[in-house]
Structure 1
Amino acid sequence: MIIYSIELENFRQFRGCHHLDFSIDNDKNVTVVMGENGSGKTTLEQAFTWCLYGKTTFKDKQLLNREVCNTMPIGTTEQVKVEMVVHTNNAEFCIRRRQTVTKKSASKHVSSLDDFNVKRRNANGDWEDVGKRLQADSIVAEMLPEKLSGFFFFDGERIDKMSEDLLQKRKSDDFKEAVRALVGLNTLQAAMDRFGPDNRMKTVAGKLKSEMDDEGEGKIAELSTEINSLVLNIENNQNEQQKIVEMLDNVKKMLLDKEFELKNMQDSINNGVQYAKYQQKIVNEEKQQVADESECLKYFSKHIFRVLLLPLYKMALTEIKDAGKIDMGIPHIHSKTIEFLLNRGKCICGSDLHQNVECLKNLQALMYTLPPHSLGNMIGSFLKDIKNNSRNTDGSVEHFMQLVKNALCHDERIAEYHNEIKLLESKLPNQERVATLNRAKKELETEQRKLQNELGICKENIGRFKQEQERLERKRNNIISSSKRNKINKLYYEYAMAVYQELKSDYEAKEIATRENLEQVINEIFAKIYDNQIGLTINDDYSVSTYLMDNSIGDGDLEKNTAQSYAVIFAFIAGIIKMHIEGKKAEIKSDVTDNADVKENDGLPLVMDAPLSAFDKDRIKRICEELPKIAKQIIIFIKDTDGDIAEEHMTNIIGKKWLIKADSQTSSKILERN
């Protein structure tokens, strides 16, 4: 299939009608469509797949241009349309897909079902319908099956998906199917599926096996029912096992992502730990500061009175030195003696104290100058108190100053810790993100253990069911062998199984040869467009591994960067196309019918929104030189900066140049460039 032209009407950014024709020159087979990011390159690339298959990957499913939608009067209709003219098998076709949009209200637009139509140009040069929708779909599928279209119409997002499937050793059914279809293995697969295996009722072997109990032996029927139940259980467990394996792969990948992100945040996490330690140190220092200040105040309250009285004590001692001149009272008379006389009411001299008031006053005054309240005793007691208080105040000032010093030193340490915290604040991790990652990691580890346990149960069930199936089949075979009719069916069954095994062996051998051939081809292309020191290996599941060809440098899988991953995808797609072309050439050589000319004119386009910005200038040059040699037609969408470099290396093979220019976020136009 070679694309002559495409015409868009109100398709997303492209308001109104826009027509592009593409180079179909064998020598200048490249068309370059240049535009800035957001101008509509991906939209134009997806216009091809929408026209052919009615599919896009846009999140917004509204295809009608936004400006047209907004300016439509309520109750009116507009159409969005893409039309392609292509050439295949010596015939020219016009493929058109159209959709009508009605504006029901200011915010509601209703789209009709797609109107899909294919026309063929007749001998007179006029277009005529090929028939109904089913026939139109069939013609497009014959040109390029939808399941293979992703390898010939793709953008950066599709390349990222291919890279993820191919290079991360995931299940790669799309690639396997593409290889089988393009190199002709599907026919052999269909023949193989027709004969076997024998556990499918639609196969020859399966049907014969089910008929081997027609003699009516109840035991055979019973055993067959049990075996079929076991086969179903095995298939269910195998399907479940596959699902669990895929889920485990996803969980492991997500777990690695979380661990990788946590590892990258480890320095920040360590800073967070240090930050918390300094905060705790501040709390501890502040607690100790409060304790030391409390101790200081307590000591001050207890000892300050004695310290302040020391000067007064010294003055009192000076006065007491003259204590000998003070009246020390009457010797040998005790205050209790006076108390006795007062109680008796009569003085020693015989005076009646009740009548002699003056005598009474003198005795009362004398009582307070005699022991135990005599002045001498009081002075002695006072001197003793001074001595004790003076002794207790020794070193009090020095101790108090040390307590003050201890209380004040905390401020300096707290300030120091605050400075350290301030330095760490800019290096702290996103605590919420760290907590989220740790929670997710824990949940994933739990899920991983759960899936591994379920996987173990599935494997155990499969082994147990297979063992029981083999036992029952041996038992049934012994019974079947005794029946004449079953013997004939068994002979046919064995013949069908022999054919199936032969086809299977042939298929497996050809698939291995195809995979090895493809591996050789993509290595040759990869060496030209990227690096000849790196080798590629296509694994059994059609994932791709990379390795250093010089073992002295290292071994094992290499860490992949974006440019290397994209180069692998380019090489893989180019390899598939090249093998398909070589296969077609081989068919032509062996074809002795009149259709040889038709096959010779078949070709495949490569329409890509190329992410060349991932490559350096030298590798862009290599890609630009190699890809046009492989595909029959190249239509490449590229941004301005990469486009200048690409055009520099493809000057002699560029047949058409176009420019997509954005007038606004919702409107772009397409201009032809010289």
Structure 2
Amino acid sequence: MKIRQIDLYNFRQFYGTTKLALACEDDRNVTLIHGENGLGKTTILNAVYWAMFDDVTPRFEQKNRIVNFEAEKEGIREAKVEVEFEFNGEIYRASRTFSIGSAKTSFLLYRIDRGSHVPIRAPETFVNSVIPKAMARYFFFDGEHAETFAAEKNQTAGAAVRSMLGCDLAEEGMKDLKAVAGQYTKQTGDGGGDDELKSLRDKLTELEDQVARDEADLADQKKSVEQLSEQKSLIDEALRLTAGASEVQELRDGLKTREEQIERDVRERQAELVRWIGEKAITVLSKKALLETASFVDSEAVEGRLPSPYREDFIQSLLHRENCICCRDLKPTTSEWNAVATLLKTAGNTEAESRLARVRIRLHTFQELARNAPNQLSSTQERLGQLLEERRGVAAELGEVSKKLEGLDLHGVRERERARGEIEKNLGQRHQRIGDLEATIRNAASRIDSLAQEIKVKGAKNERTRTIMRKRQLALDAAILLKSRLERYESRARSAIEGEINDILERTARRDYQFKFDDDFSMALTHSDIDGPVPKSGGENQLMSLAFTAALVRFSKERVGNTDELLSPGTVAPLVLDAPIGHLDQSYREATAEFIPEMAGQVILLLSSAHMSAGVYDALKARVGKEYVLISENRRAREGKSNDPIALNGRNYNQSLFNQERNLTRVEEVA
């Protein structure tokens, strides 16, 4: 899919009709749009997303105020976006209209055939086949909101990978199979009068229904965590951009990162203590007994009692032959025979000697453990004490910094910091709820298996019950098989995307970083000279999120034509990047600008002058096919304000104009 043109009709900042023809050539695949903050870069990104999917990105404020304010004052009550795109050799035009007072937007889709517009039936279904909505959000990159993927403890990358895999159908299939199994459970015992069987059936049904509710609750909690994480990222960004709060915010971010690292170290030391208790506590407590046992074994050996000086098999052979080693007869019942037979009471054998050897080795091992264990315990306790003290200090400093943020006499800072605290509290509660639900579901699974087995045994002689339970198990086995297949796909996707990201980092990162996903799909950077994950700056988070997005897009492209019956095929779609290099320093920006055109077959890149330097422009210009500048027209007088000039291709453009007829943003193509 490639977008040929975007037409805006009274959509947000854009009054009247605004048309943007986009670059579609393979060698010049970048459409570059320059615009200062507030002029409409994010609006253009969201215009395409909204037109295709009736959805917007998290930073798109006042989502229901779609009609241009100037147009609304003049009595116009509609806004519309049309997107003309190419797909599989055909040209299509999607059109979405918003009307003030209407609860829903209207969506139309046409195929353009020799100038005629042929309506497409079920347009949403068709668009979803071009680019599934679950995948689409990852083709619209909001750079000011880029830390969502890479932020500490954020697990939304896993959802992104599963979306690009097209797991939705299989995941719904698993839910349906579990529901089918539950329906079979409800039928168990209906045909007979066995009250005990019905009681077991009712318990199993109740438990399965509860697990279904818990799983739905778990999915909702995870979705809420994702949404809250996005809100928290927006507040963090707003705090950084608030004049006078940026330095305090950076300090708070650093302290928060340090606090999280200390928390991980504390958990590791506590785990070491638990392991020490399980592995070495008994050894230390039994030290005296070990010493006495070893001393007894050694003294008995010296005195010849351990092992015995006589072997049982040797004495038995003398008695059997009835002849002593001195050649005297040993006849049964004689005093000589009885004397030799008495030696059997203390005689040793091969097994006893082998046991004794093992006892000596084990005693020696325990003694070594007992000698070393106290030092290990002392070292772990000392380090844990240091970490707890450091954690108290960091927590106190964090509290002071948060108070400073609350006390800053700046518009919105106090409210944002308080909102951030509420979100963090909410996130903590939801993470706790997620952990509780996962534990409850795991425990219920074993009880469900136990009850199902009881029903099988109790209903073994009932043909109907046996048949129903076989069908129930077949549905559950199919769900397990689906889950196993999806986990294999996910594992392969994880490895492929990790490889792509590391290729990008090798080209762009200043340091020798290695990227990896944790088990929960949160992102981490590692370095050979640093133990554990590397604390990341805002710029490194943005770079990692951008690299992750690029890897997702490439992964989706590689899956085009996928014929696996469980997964939706991949897709090729334009990548819309709004301020993707805002948090990067100059050298990172230039290196990143070099690989941006390679991220997708078509790139729409939106940059402000603060992000555009000669180096960035030079890195991009060979791949730019279309270039525009957003110009703000203001009704008010200039009154000493800047015209915000920008020089592009040897020509100066004023991005702010005053004493104009209306307040609006217009688009001018760069010659």
Q: TM (normalized to structure 1)?
A: 0.60
Three-state SS of the structure 2 residue aligned to 1:10 is strand
Tell me the residue number matched to 2:130.
143
Mapped partners of 2:33, 2:422: distance in 1: 47
> How far 1:431 sits from its partner (Å)?
12
Kindly indicate whether the alpha-carbon contact (under 8 Å) linking 2:33 and 2:606 is maintained by their aligned counterparts in 1.
Answer: yes
In the alignment, is residue 619 of structure 1 matched against residue 598 of structure 2?
no
Closer, same or farther: CA 264–29 of 1 in aligned 2, 3 Å: closer
- Which of 89, 111, 129 in structure 1 is aligned with 2:119? 129
- Which of 626, 632, 635 in structure 2 is aligned with 1:662? 632
Kindly indicate whether the alpha-carbon contact (under 8 Å) linking 1:51 and 1:96 is maintained by their aligned counterparts in 2.
Answer: yes
Kindly indicate whether the alpha-carbon contact (under 8 Å) linking 2:406 and 2:418 is maintained by their aligned counterparts in 1.
Answer: no
In the alignment, is residue 30 of structure 1 matched against residue 25 of structure 2?
no
Mapped partners of 1:444, 1:82: distance in 2: 34
Three-state SS of the structure 1 residue aligned to 2:559 is helix
Tell me the residue number matched to 1:115.
106
Closer, same or farther: CA 62–535 of 1 in aligned 2, 3 Å: same
Tell me the residue number matched to 2:153.
169
**Unaligned runs of at least 5 residues, structure 2:** 237-247, 257-400, 409-413, 636-662
- Name the aligned partner's letter for residue 205 of structure 2: N
Tell me the residue number matched to 2:92.
93
> How far 1:78 sits from its partner (Å)?
4.5
Closer, same or farther: CA 579–531 of 1 in aligned 2, 3 Å: farther
In the alignment, is residue 643 of structure 1 matched against residue 612 of structure 2?
yes
> How far 1:539 sits from its partner (Å)?
2.5
Kindly indicate whether the alpha-carbon contact (under 8 Å) linking 1:521 and 1:575 is maintained by their aligned counterparts in 2.
Answer: yes
Mapped partners of 1:612, 1:545: distance in 2: 20
Tell me the residue number matched to 2:377.
none
Kindly indicate whether the alpha-carbon contact (under 8 Å) linking 2:546 and 2:580 is maintained by their aligned counterparts in 1.
Answer: no
In the alignment, is residue 229 of structure 1 matched against residue 220 of structure 2?
no
- Which of 128, 144, 162 in structure 2 is aligned with 1:180? 162
> How far 1:450 sits from its partner (Å)?
9.0
- Which of 537, 540, 553 in structure 2 is aligned with 1:577? 553
Three-state SS of the structure 2 residue aligned to 1:657 is strand
- Name the aligned partner's letter for residue 43 of structure 1: T
> How far 1:6 sits from its partner (Å)?
0.6
Tell me the residue number matched to 1:634.
603
Summarize the alignment of residues 323-342 of structure 1 with structure 2, pairs less than 5 Å apart: none
- Name the aligned partner's letter for residue 90 of structure 2: A
- Name the aligned partner's letter for residue 176 of structure 1: G
Tell me the residue number matched to 2:654.
none
Summarize the alignment of residues 536-575 of structure 1 with structure 2, pairs less than 5 Å apart: 536-548=515-527, 550=528, 553-575=529-551
**1:467-511 Cα distance to aligned partner (Å, 9 max, x none):** 654543332221122212333344444444444433332322222
Kindly indicate whether the alpha-carbon contact (under 8 Å) linking 1:99 and 1:112 is maintained by their aligned counterparts in 2.
Answer: no
Three-state SS of the structure 2 residue aligned to 1:612 is coil
> How far 1:113 sits from its partner (Å)?
4.5
- The percentage of aligned residue pairs carrying the same residue is 22
> How far 1:639 sits from its partner (Å)?
0.9
**1:17-65 Cα distance to aligned partner (Å, 9 max, x none):** 1111001101111110011222221122211122222333322632222
**1:99-127 Cα distance to aligned partner (Å, 9 max, x none):** 345xxxxxxxx5675332211112x3311
Closer, same or farther: CA 241–259 of 1 in aligned 2, 3 Å: farther
Mapped partners of 1:41, 1:137: distance in 2: 26
Summarize the alignment of residues 586-625 of structure 1 with structure 2, pairs less than 5 Å apart: 603-625=572-594
Mapped partners of 2:10, 2:47: distance in 1: 11
**1:98-156 Cα distance to aligned partner (Å, 9 max, x none):** 2345xxxxxxxx5675332211112x33112223xxx1222222222333322112323
- Name the aligned partner's letter for residue 509 of structure 2: Y
Mapped partners of 2:421, 2:546: distance in 1: 39
Closer, same or farther: CA 554–261 of 1 in aligned 2, 3 Å: closer
**1:382-420 Cα distance to aligned partner (Å, 9 max, x none):** xxxxxxxxxxxxxxxxxxxxxxxxxxxxxxxxxxxxxxx
- Name the aligned partner's letter for residue 585 of structure 2: D
> How far 1:215 sits from its partner (Å)?
3.1
Mapped partners of 2:118, 2:428: distance in 1: 62
In the alignment, is residue 155 of structure 1 matched against residue 142 of structure 2?
yes
Kindly indicate whether the alpha-carbon contact (under 8 Å) linking 2:18 and 2:666 is maintained by their aligned counterparts in 1.
Answer: yes
**1:627-667 Cα distance to aligned partner (Å, 9 max, x none):** 32231100000012433443211222111111111112831
Mapped partners of 1:449, 1:121: distance in 2: 52
Closer, same or farther: CA 228–46 of 1 in aligned 2, 3 Å: same
Closer, same or farther: CA 586–149 of 1 in aligned 2, 3 Å: closer
Mapped partners of 1:567, 1:263: distance in 2: 18
- Which of 66, 70, 90 in structure 2 is aligned with 1:67? 70
- Which of 486, 499, 504 in structure 1 is aligned with 2:483? 504
In the alignment, is residue 83 of structure 1 matched against residue 66 of structure 2?
no
- Name the aligned partner's letter for residue 669 of structure 1: R
> How far 1:558 sits from its partner (Å)?
1.3
Closer, same or farther: CA 258–221 of 1 in aligned 2, 3 Å: farther
Closer, same or farther: CA 54–546 of 1 in aligned 2, 3 Å: same
Kindly indicate whether the alpha-carbon contact (under 8 Å) linking 1:88 and 1:603 is maintained by their aligned counterparts in 2.
Answer: no
Kindly indicate whether the alpha-carbon contact (under 8 Å) linking 1:171 and 1:543 is maintained by their aligned counterparts in 2.
Answer: yes
Mapped partners of 2:617, 2:419: distance in 1: 48
Q: TM (normalized to structure 2)?
A: 0.61
> How far 1:611 sits from its partner (Å)?
3.6
Tell me the residue number matched to 1:43.
43
**More deviation, 443-452/500-509:** 443-452
Kindly indicate whether the alpha-carbon contact (under 8 Å) linking 1:51 and 1:95 is maintained by their aligned counterparts in 2.
Answer: yes
Kindly indicate whether the alpha-carbon contact (under 8 Å) linking 2:144 and 2:580 is maintained by their aligned counterparts in 1.
Answer: no
Three-state SS of the structure 2 residue aligned to 1:36 is coil
Kindly indicate whether the alpha-carbon contact (under 8 Å) linking 1:97 and 1:116 is maintained by their aligned counterparts in 2.
Answer: yes
Mapped partners of 1:431, 1:89: distance in 2: 54
- Return the index of the structure with the highest Cα Rg: 1
Mapped partners of 1:510, 1:626: distance in 2: 28
Closer, same or farther: CA 518–225 of 1 in aligned 2, 3 Å: same
Kindly indicate whether the alpha-carbon contact (under 8 Å) linking 1:77 and 1:100 is maintained by their aligned counterparts in 2.
Answer: no
Tell me the residue number matched to 1:107.
none
Mapped partners of 1:16, 1:470: distance in 2: 65
Closer, same or farther: CA 647–245 of 1 in aligned 2, 3 Å: closer
Three-state SS of the structure 2 residue aligned to 1:176 is helix
Closer, same or farther: CA 615–126 of 1 in aligned 2, 3 Å: same
Closer, same or farther: CA 504–43 of 1 in aligned 2, 3 Å: closer
Closer, same or farther: CA 646–442 of 1 in aligned 2, 3 Å: closer
Closer, same or farther: CA 581–448 of 1 in aligned 2, 3 Å: closer
Closer, same or farther: CA 233–86 of 1 in aligned 2, 3 Å: same
- Give the CA RMSD over aligned residues: 4.4
Mapped partners of 1:154, 1:673: distance in 2: 24
> How far 1:441 sits from its partner (Å)?
13
> How far 1:230 sits from its partner (Å)?
2.4
Summarize the alignment of residues 212-611 of structure 1 with structure 2, pairs less than 5 Å apart: 212-216=188-192, 217-234=194-211, 236=213, 433=407, 468-531=447-510, 533-548=512-527, 550=528, 553-584=529-560, 603-611=572-580
Mapped partners of 2:98, 2:40: distance in 1: 20
**1:548-598 Cα distance to aligned partner (Å, 9 max, x none):** 1x1xx21112111111111111111111111111122666xx99xxxxxxx
